[in-house]
């Protein structure tokens, strides 16, 4: 079977590797002409999924990953600004450096099957197959087309033309910071912390460093904070450091200084001090895109609420308060 895959990131590479190994004729179309390694920060997955990917040969056992068995929920203490413990939620996760995971999956796709700078324009469904039309011209016929091209997928438009993504009133500000540059551990010994605050929430965890080390002091802290931004003012935060308007996200290292300062100021009044004291330091050390959320992005942050609570001893609860 001839299979075309639109989108050459994590999902596209995983699908291509499995289908190619099963004997299908596969071609991946990736719209970006540059390497995708710098596109992400950290990414976590349930340990069972990680193990299943290794069993199926999608990733190697040597792929570095940090681990956590629970996520600690905290908030800002009333009047003190200190950290107040809300609870620990049990979940077994493998935490990856996005670049390492992407590279591992990309190695499973032979170079001749991966076409960069191949942006899809539309997908034509025919009785005997499917045809992706590419920019600036050209098309190929396939028996099956897999759409792994994100929340603005051409496939979604084909299946349900009226399914238009809607802005959910929030942006996410995220980035990476070398652990070696932190004076204190903002996670306070935990492997993952989710700060909760009025109108939003955040997430912080460690991933392997650029040298693929998972040793304390050599990891990267990945963090993301969800903040409410009215649609009427969304355009004002989707501006890069050269005053250029962006449509859906601001690239790494290009967040406008005034936007960054505004986010820092808001977070300083929302987060516990230990979660915000390093924020301006991180902003100068690493880059942070801000991205509007659409309905497709929301389920990814909801799974934690169905996890199992962990009972904390009085000693551990006091340490978290």
Q: What is the chain's Cα-based Rg?
A: 21
CA 196 to CA 205: how far, in whole Å? 15
Q: Is 73 a catalytic residue?
A: no
Interaxial angle between packed helices 10-21 and 98-106, expressed in degrees from 0 to 180 and rounded to the nearest 10: 30
Q: Which of 70, 114, 197, 206 is catalytic?
A: 206
Helices and strands in the chain: count of H runs, count of E runs: 9, 15
Q: How many of the other CB atoms lie within 10 Å of CB of 75? A: 19
Q: SS3 of 189, please?
A: coil
CA 1 to CA 27: how far, in whole Å? 11
CA 30 to CA 36: how far, in whole Å? 10
Catalytic residues: 206
């Amino acid at each position: 079977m001839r299979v075309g895959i639109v989108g050459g990131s994590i999902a596209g590479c995983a699908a291509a590797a499995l289908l190619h190994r099963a004997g299908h004729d596969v071609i991946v179309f990736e719209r970006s002409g540059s390497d995708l390694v710098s596109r992400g920060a950290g990414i976590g997955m349930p340990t069972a999924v990680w193990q299943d990917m290794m069993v199926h040969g999608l990733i190697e056992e040597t792929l570095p990953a940090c681990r956590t068995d629970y996520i600690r929920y905290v908030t800002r203490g009333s009047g003190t600004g200190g950290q107040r413990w809300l609870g620990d939620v049990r979940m077994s996760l493998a935490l990856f450096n996005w670049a390492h995971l992407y590279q591992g999956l990309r190695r499973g796709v032979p170079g001749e099957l991966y076409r960069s700078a191949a942006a899809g324009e539309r997908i034509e469904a025919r009785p005997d197959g499917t045809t992706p039309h590419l920019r600036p011209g050209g098309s190929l016929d396939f028996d099956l087309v897999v759409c792994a091209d994100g929340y603005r997928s051409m496939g979604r438009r084909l299946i349900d033309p009226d399914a238009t993504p809607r802005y959910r009133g929030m942006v996410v500000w995220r980035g990476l910071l070398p652990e070696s540059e932190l004076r204190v551990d903002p996670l306070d010994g935990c492997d993952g912390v989710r700060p909760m605050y009025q109108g939003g929430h955040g997430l912080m965890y460690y991933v392997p460093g650029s040298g693929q080390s998972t040793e304390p002091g050599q990891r990267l802290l990945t963090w993301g904070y969800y903040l409410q931004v009215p649609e009427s003012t969304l355009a004002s935060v989707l501006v890069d450091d050269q005053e250029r308007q962006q449509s859906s996200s601001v690239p790494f290292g290009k967040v406008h200084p005034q936007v960054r300062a505004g986010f820092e100021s808001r977070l300083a009044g929302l987060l516990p001090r230990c979660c915000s004291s390093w924020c301006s330091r991180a902003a100068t050390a690493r880059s942070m895109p801000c991205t509007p959320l659409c309905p497709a992005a929301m389920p990814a942050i909801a799974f934690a609420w169905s996890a199992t609570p962990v009972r904390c001893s009085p000693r551990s609860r006091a340490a978290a308060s």
